[in-house]
Amino acid sequence: MVAATATTPAGARPVRAGRRLRLPAWVGTAPFLAYVGLFLLLPTGIIVFNAFRSPSGALNLSSLKLLFSSTTRSYFIGSFQLCLISSAVGAVLGAILAYAIASGNPDGTVRRLYIAVSGVLAQFGGVTLAFAFVVLIGPVGLLTHASWFYTFPWGIAVIYTYFQVPLMVLVFLPAIDGLKVQWREASDSLGSSAWQYWRYVGGPLLAPAFLGAALLLFANALSAFATVVAWENQIAYIVPQQIYVAINSEVGLSNVNQADVLALGMIIMVAIIMTGYAFLQRRAARWLR
């Protein structure tokens, strides 16, 4: 369209440039900014603001004291344990599975089947998943009664791993597909062993993607709520469960400001992990620069 102006023969009426809508550049990003503002920044702001208020509405640090109690610490340790175990196991198993899929026929049925199944199972969580486990290996399980099933974090970590592995496959497979066969061939023809290939070529190439995917899994586990509640709703082990108690308690322990303080704690936890991740990512991708 723009090129038409240049080719207009002399003497003809020039196409007016004004025809083209000229809008400031920010207009294009406005929907995105509005979306992020309403659904991320605003709620975060409300949480932070309320965390610094007492239940009566005064601005002070009385609610924040909760963050430093030993009970609260145990919920954060619980969340951290669960996320770490389920994301580490999920990332390793998922990466191995993704590699196995990638080394198969790229157009084969097996690959398509695995990707389709992973897509479904990565979203399989919540009450349905927990209930399936309870029915199979719970106290009166159809298969067996696994005595560790209600030991935190092992029982719930196994349930989480169920959706972490397929999620890892989905997010990590493109990275493995990016490894060129020629690199392996070059490495082999230069006489390196399989170990040396992974140590000096494949590993460093995949490390940034692996860490990124593992972080995604960690965050995925951190915010999961329905699954853990369906697994165990009589004891709170992790922060989201305790936030639920702080909002809903009918025995006089409900305190929305404390829920906000716990949520703020989770935000800080994510911030620390993101910082650590950014640092690791820089180290892992050092050779790229």
In the bound state with another protein, the residue whose beta carbon lies nearer, of 70 and 182, is: 70
Contact between 128 and another protein by CB under 8 A: the answer reads: no
Applying CB under 8 A, among 104, 106, 108, 139 the residue interacting with another protein is 139
In the bound state with another protein, the residue whose beta carbon lies nearer, of 152 and 197, is: 152
CA–CA separation, 142 vs 242, rounded Å? Answer: 31
Applying CB under 8 A, among 65, 145, 180, 283 the residue interacting with another protein is 145
Applying CB under 8 A, among 42, 194, 253, 268 the residue interacting with another protein is 253
In the bound state with another protein, the residue whose beta carbon lies nearer, of 44 and 69, is: 69
Q: Which of 226, 241, 230 has the alpha carbon at shortest distance from 75?
A: 241
Contact between 140 and another protein by CB under 8 A: the answer reads: yes
Q: How far is the CB of 84 from another protein (least distance, A)?
A: 17
Binding mask of the shown chain, residues 218 to 247, with x at each position contacting another protein by CB under 8 A: -------------xxxxxxx---x--xx--
CA–CA separation, 284 vs 203, rounded Å? Answer: 10
What three-state secondary structure class fits 53? Answer: strand
Q: From residue 87, how far is each of 84, 132, 256 by CA, in Å?
A: 5, 21, 30
CA–CA separation, 98 vs 166, rounded Å? Answer: 9
Q: How far is the CB of 271 from another protein (least distance, A)?
A: 26
Binding mask of the shown chain, residues 148 to 187, with x at each position contacting another protein by CB under 8 A: --x-x-----------------------------------
**Single-letter amino acid, residue 117:** V
Q: How far is the CB of 235 from another protein (least distance, A)?
A: 5
CA–CA separation, 244 vs 254, rounded Å? Answer: 9
CA–CA separation, 256 vs 43, rounded Å? Answer: 14
Contact between 191 and another protein by CB under 8 A: the answer reads: no
In the bound state with another protein, the residue whose beta carbon lies nearer, of 131 and 198, is: 131
How far is C-alpha 16 from the chain's CA centre? Answer: 50
What three-state secondary structure class fits 110? Answer: helix
* 262, 268 contact by CB (below 8 A): no
Beta bridge partners, 59, equal: 53
* 249, 211 contact by CB (below 8 A): no
Applying CB under 8 A, among 9, 18, 252, 288 the residue interacting with another protein is 252
Contact between 56 and another protein by CB under 8 A: the answer reads: no
Residues that bind another protein (CB under 8 A): 71, 74-75, 134-135, 138-140, 145, 147, 150, 152, 231-237, 241, 244-245, 248-254
